[in-house]
């Protein structure tokens, strides 16, 4: 194992409070449920209308397929990295080890931590804002301020729920995941059994060009799809708390992607076979309108309640994963020491959890569209492309014999890098500018800190 072993996570599932590290309590089903809950969440229930507006006609399905293929290639990257370095805070350690802990890896690790402080609240906040939008279906009089307050309140409630031993959260995560998958299956089944070929023909015969043009529209839909599929890496954030991580992490990542992809394609086709595509494109609660068209007001209300459960679970597990990143950096001596504090009995990060929960509540006062676009472009530029090259660097070193190796190497890496660059090139200019400014600011902050502490690249001669 690499030098990341400094965090010294125990191999057993028993509490390890005496050593100051959290226990390995998450098995395959816990890891899979953490991924699935993160992936399903509120994403497709609020972004299907956005995708239909970005690329009219059946071409929109190409965007969903392209997004799934890109995520599968990127999932192979995460699976290999998570198996090679199974530590809590995942990408922070991947980048530090790949680019040199005392060299450029210090910069990459710092930039990942820096972008996490920005994107973690955006990711958690987007799930909470989506939750509040569907609450608005039940309470039509709820204004923008009311929805923002509900979203912020959800983040604070989840922080309180996660303030306990991770094994208890695993059981809750598995339970909620089972309900969420069953709810999605019910929604898809309802669409299949009420599929109207005349309505679907109107969608597939649509020739109206997108206002963005085909390639820009395809990029916009693919970016939305990647956001919706995102979350297959959540188990990697909890690597130090996973049992048998070299096998469990790759399995959880690679099983979750096709499982959710099938659900999403079924959901899209089901909706487009019941609702006219123009109505779906302008809906504020498309799944609620869809179920109401089939089962009446009662069916629409029940669908909303299930979606609220899914979005709550998504915000919960995303907060769980991201709360471990500042802790991992602090435990490694690269962040404020207070963030390395663990609960004396539960063995979970306390200050890190409270900080991420509070900043996520503040992010809920931004719009959902701005949250999604800025989140994805920032993560691509800061992290995803760098991780592809990290696989190459780590493969040159001696690895444990049971480490997962991606098939068809290096083809998945090439597809991932090209795909990420395409999504950035077709994104909104404001999102690109925000991400570039964040990278520049983070680099300047790192250089200032390195010069002050006389560390790389300002080592004394």
As a whole number of angstroms, the distance between CA 259 and CA 415 comes to: 21
> Which of the two residues, 52 and 157, has the higher pLDDT score?
157
Prior bond of 457 cis (ω within 30°): yes
Which has more confidence, 78 or 174? 78
CB 309 within 8 A of CB 179: yes
Q: E-strand spans in 289-414? A: none
Quote the pLDDT of residue 18. 46
Check residue 25 and give its pLDDT.
Answer: 78
Of the chain, the percentage scoring pLDDT greater than 90 comes to 34
CA distance 218 to 212: 9
Q: Please say whether the dihedral angle defined by the alpha carbons of residues 424, 429, 430 and 433, taken in this order, is positive or negative.
A: positive
Q: What would the pLDDT profile of 205-261 be if each residue is shown by its tens digit?
A: 776 555 567 888 889 899 999 999 988 998 998 888 899 999 999 999 999 999 999
Let me know if residue 459 belongs to a domain.
Answer: no
- The model's confidence at residue 8, banded by pLDDT at 50, 70 and 90, is very low
Q: Which long-range contacts (CB under 8 A, 24 or more apart) does 381-384 make?
A: 381/424, 381/435, 381/436, 381/439, 382/111, 382/112, 382/114, 382/115, 382/119, 382/435, 382/438, 382/439, 382/442, 383/91, 383/95, 383/112, 383/115, 384/74, 384/416, 384/420
Residue 208 is assigned to a structural domain of this protein: yes
26: β partners: 242
Q: Which pLDDT value is given to residue 44?
A: 81
CA distance 383 to 91: 8
Residue 283 has pLDDT above 70, yes or no: yes
What's the CA gap between 81 and 405, in Å, rounded? 9
Most confident of 318-322, 359-363, 428-432, 450-454: 359-363
C-beta separation of 165 from 30 below 8 A? no
- pLDDT at res. 7: 34
Give me the mean pLDDT over the 109-123 stretch.
85
The answer to whether residue 6 scores a pLDDT higher than 50 is no
CATH of the domain at 102: 1.20.1740.10
- The total of structural domains in the chain comes to 1
Mean pLDDT calculated for residue range 186-204: 87
Residue ranges making up the domain that contains 102: 34-453
Q: Which of 179-183, 249-253, 375-379 has the lowest mean pLDDT?
A: 179-183
Instruction: Please tell me which residue, 165 or 365, carries the higher pLDDT value.
Output: 365
For residue 21, name the pLDDT band (cuts at 50, 70, 90): low
Does residue 331 lie within any of the structural domains?
yes
Q: Report the alpha-carbon distance of residue 357 to residue 342 in Å, rounded.
A: 16
pLDDT for 1 equals: 31
For residues 127 and 125, give the distance between their C-alpha atoms in angstroms, rounded to a whole number.
5
Q: Which of 73-77, 212-216, 327-331, 400-404 has the lowest mean pLDDT?
A: 212-216
pLDDT at site 84 = 94
- How many CA atoms within 13 Å lie on the side-chain side of 290? 40
Mean pLDDT of 376-404: 89
Least confident of 23-37, 99-113, 166-180, 373-387: 166-180
SS3 429: helix
- Give residue 66's pLDDT: 94
The pLDDT of residue 208:
55
Task: Judge whether 281 lies within some domain.
Answer: yes
What pLDDT is recorded for position 207?
65
* CA distance readout (Å), 168 to 39, 180, 232, 386: 21, 19, 21, 34
* 350 pLDDT tier (thresholds 50, 70, 90): very high
The reply to whether 10 falls in a domain is no
Please report the pLDDT score of residue 357 as a whole number: 95
44-60 pLDDT, tens digit per residue, is 888 888 888 887 778 88
Task: Give the pLDDT band (50/70/90) at residue 16.
Answer: very low
Question: Among 121-130, 154-163, 352-361, whose mean pLDDT is lowest?
Answer: 121-130
Residue scoring higher pLDDT (174 or 301): 301
Q: CA 132, CA 138: separation in Å to the nearest integer?
A: 10
Task: Return the bridge partners of 88, or none.
Answer: 238
Whether 4 maps to a domain, the answer reads no
Of 5-9, 265-269, 311-315, 432-436, minimum mean pLDDT range: 5-9
For residue 3, being part of any structural domain is answered with: no
Query: Rounded to two decimals, what is the model's pTM?
Result: 0.81
d(CA 215, CA 382): 24
5 domain-assigned? no
Question: In which band, very low, low, confident or very high, does the pLDDT at 33 lie, cut at 50, 70 and 90?
Answer: confident
């Amino acid at each position: 194992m690499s030098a990341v072993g400094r965090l010294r996570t125990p191999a057993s599932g028993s509490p390890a409070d005496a050593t100051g590290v959290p226990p390995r309590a998450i098995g395959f089903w816990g890891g899979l449920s953490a991924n699935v809950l993160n992936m399903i969440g509120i994403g497709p229930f609020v972004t299907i209308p956005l995708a239909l507006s970005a690329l009219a006609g059946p071409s929109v399905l190409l965007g969903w397929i392209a997004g799934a293929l890109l995520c599968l290639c990127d999932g192979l990257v995460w699976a290999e990295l998570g198996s090679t370095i199974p530590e809590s805070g995942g990408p922070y350690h991947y980048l530090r080890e790949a680019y040199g802990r005392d060299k450029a890896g210090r910069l990459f690790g710092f930039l990942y931590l820096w972008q996490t402080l920005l994107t973690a609240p955006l990711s958690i906040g987007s799930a909470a804002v989506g939750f509040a939008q569907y609450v608005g279906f039940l309470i039509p009089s709820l204004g923008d301020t009311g929805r923002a307050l509900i979203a912020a309140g959800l983040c604070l409630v989840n922080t309180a729920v996660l303030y306990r031993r991770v094994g208890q959260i695993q059981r809750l995560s598995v339970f909620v995941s089972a309900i969420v998958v069953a709810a999605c299956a019910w929604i898809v089944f309802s669409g299949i059994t009420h599929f109207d070929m005349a309505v679907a023909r109107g969608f597939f015969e649509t020739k109206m060009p997108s206002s963005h043009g085909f390639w820009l529209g395809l990029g916009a839909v693919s970016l939305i799809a990647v956001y919706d599929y995102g979350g297959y890496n959540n188990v990697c954030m909890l690597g130090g708390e996973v049992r048998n991580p070299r096998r469990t992490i790759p399995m959880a990542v690679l099983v979750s992607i096709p499982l959710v992809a099938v659900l999403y394609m079924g959901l899209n086709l089901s909706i487009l076979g019941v609702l006219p595509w123009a109505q779906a494109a302008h809906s504020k609660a498309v799944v609620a309108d869809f179920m109401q068209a089939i089962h009446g007001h009662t069916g629409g209300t029940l669908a909303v309640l299930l979606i609220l459960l899914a979005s709550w679970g998504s915000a919960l597990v995303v907060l769980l994963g991201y709360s471990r990143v500042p802790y991992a950096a602090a435990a490694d001596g690269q962040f404020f020491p207070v963030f390395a504090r663990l609960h004396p009995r539960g063995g979970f990060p306390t200050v890190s959890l409270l900080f991420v929960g509070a900043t996520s509540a503040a992010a809920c006062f931004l719009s959902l569209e701005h949250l999604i676009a800025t989140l994805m472009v920032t993560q691509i530029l800061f992290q995803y492309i760098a991780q592809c090259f990290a696989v190459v660097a780590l493969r040159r070193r001696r690895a444990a014999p049971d480490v997962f190796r991606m098939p068809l190497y290096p083809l998945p890496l090439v597809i991932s890098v090209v795909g990420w660059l395409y999504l950035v090139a077709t994104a909104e200019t404001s999102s690109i500018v925000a991400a570039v400014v964040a990278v520049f600011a983070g680099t300047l902050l790192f250089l200032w800190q390195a010069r002050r502490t006389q560390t790389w690249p300002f080592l004394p001669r």
